[in-house]
Copies of this chain bind each other. A is one copy, B any other.
Amino acid sequence: MRADGVRNRRRVLDAAMAAFATDGLSIPVAEVARRAGVGTGTVSRHFPTKESLYEAIVSTRVAEIVGRAEELAATHPPGEAFYAFLRYMVDQAAENRGLAEALAGAGFDIEAAAASGGHDLAGTEAGLLARAQEAGAVRPDVTTPDVKALIVGCLAREQTGPDAIARNRMVQIVSAGLLREAVRDPVEDVVL
């Protein structure tokens, strides 16, 4: 591979990472090319489809995330590890619009991309949750899709004014809800 080829691939990757983080996944490929200082042909030769660009970026991102999850699991009790990971994911995605959109399922399957990169994001999350539930730190009927949706909820808060205090409050609310067991429906007067 020629030296300028390697260099330009890197430049495209860096520009795309920054562009997706600040402007989201729907930014045109031509705009990524412009920011990288190359032509659109160069982008599409290195990354034949837009999705392949996503994948290249997501795979490094997912590696970090899975690494952090394993570190937390190894160094903290189950409940603490789970809640710390929840917070970590929300903070990461709050700083990266592309990641937030991928998590929200906006036209891109992040877990499939992770799996194709050799990482098991879904399994890692499931493990953290299961251990926290065994330890009694998370209500037992919660599932991983529930947790993902709650993360999306925390991220949705960012749309109307990104605000670190509000973000923190959202994580608190969700964490408290995951802990508590049951609540009585005040209108129907039944235990939910």
Q: Which of B87, B150, B152, B177 contacts A175 (CB 8 A)?
A: B177
Convert A58-91 into 0s and 1s, putting 1 for each residue whose CB lies closer than 8 angstroms to a CB of B.
Answer: 0000000000000010001101100110010000
Q: Report how many copies the assembly holds.
A: 2
List of B residues within 8 angstroms of A142 by Cβ: 169, 173
User: Is B171 a contact partner of A174 (Cβ separation < 8 A)?
Assistant: no
A159 and B151 alpha carbons, distance in the complex (Å): 14
- Residues of A in contact with B (beta carbons under 8 Å apart): 72, 76-77, 79-80, 83-84, 87, 104-105, 139, 141-143, 145-146, 148-157, 159-161, 166, 168-183, 185-187, 192
> What are 26 A-B contacts with C-beta separation under 8 Å?
A72-B187, A80-B186, A80-B187, A83-B185, A83-B186, A84-B186, A87-B185, A142-B173, A145-B157, A145-B160, A145-B161, A145-B166, A148-B160, A150-B173, A168-B192, A172-B183, A172-B192, A173-B174, A173-B177, A175-B177, A176-B177, A176-B182, A176-B183, A177-B180, A179-B180, A180-B180
